[in-house]
Amino acid sequence: MKKIIVICFLILSFVSCKQNHDDLKKVNARVFIESDKNTESIIKVFLEDRFGNALTGAKIICVDKNNRASLLEFDALKYYYWVKTELPSLGDVKIYIQSNALKKEKKLVVPHEKILKLPKLIAFQDISGKSVLKGEDISSQEDIQIAWESMGANCIYTLEIKTSVDTVYSYATNACNIIISSNTLKANKNYYLVLTVQKYSGDPLFKNYNYYSLSSTQTGGINFVTK
């Protein structure tokens, strides 16, 4: 009887060790890359086991299309690996991950494209034709049309109308124009417009892709007066 118990215990121990060993092999890696108007980009890599626990002690290297390599550091407070580095304006970023929790080296390829110029307004006028771009005041009692040059595919444009103290209007769109309805803004007021463009690739929620790549820039404040 004791012999049978010992054999069963050994079998259970072997199965348990094998399951734990296999669990370690199921590692999830997610990559976030962000570039803005600064020359440097931030790369973050989230490395987790199947239970969502952060894995430390890994060696993670990013390589850009020019074969420049950067070693990522682990942030013990935020539980991700990161590096701030200069990336080419366009091209894939390769992420190489080495860890004892992996059967072999893991490689991720993330497309990244920087926005190199500011979005340019091509129309900012009321329906009577009065144009901010010509230095004219526009009517708050009329619909206001705002349009800008396209910055390419996979872009989100966020237009904000602000005063010196707060934001009175905000709208995000994939299109290159919007109409602000009449009486949205007040008459005889000073406002300024800010247009932000974000070029993206991947998925910010990491559901459809294991990466999210983002580049953003914005115009300076464009002052205008309503009547």
Closest CA to 178 of 114, 120, 123: 123
**Residue 95 three-state SS:** strand
pLDDT of amino acid 101: 87
**Which tens digits make up the pLDDT trace of 41-50?**
999 999 998 8
Q: What is the 3 state secondary structure string of 97-152?
A: EECCCCCCCEEEEEEEECCCCCCCEEEEEECCCCEHHHCCCECCCCCEEEEECCCC
What is the C-alpha to C-alpha distance for residues 168 and 85, in angstroms, rounded to an integer? 36
Q: Please, what is the end-to-end C-alpha distance for the chain in angstroms?
A: 96
pLDDT of amino acid 25: 55
pLDDT of amino acid 11: 42
CB 142 within 8 A of CB 127: yes
What residues of the chain score a pLDDT lower than 70? 1-25
CB 129 within 8 A of CB 139: no
Please tell me the number of Cα atoms within 13 Å of 130 on its side-chain side.
15
Name 155's Cβ contacts closer than 8 Å, sequence gap at least 6. 174, 197, 198, 199, 200
Closest CA to 193 of 121, 126, 135: 121
**Bridge partners, 83 (sequence order):** 43
CB 154 within 8 A of CB 200: yes
**Residue 214 three-state SS:** strand
Domains of the chain, CATH where assigned: 22-113 (2.60.40.10), 121-225 (2.60.40.10)
> What are the E-state strand segments in the chain?
28-35, 40-48, 59-63, 69-71, 73-75, 80-86, 90-98, 106-113, 121-126, 144-148, 155-162, 167-173, 177-180, 190-202, 211-218, 222-225
pTM value is: 0.79
pLDDT of amino acid 154: 93
**Which tens digits make up the pLDDT trace of 164-220?**
899 999 999 999 999 999 999 999 999 999 999 999 999 999 999 999 999 999 988
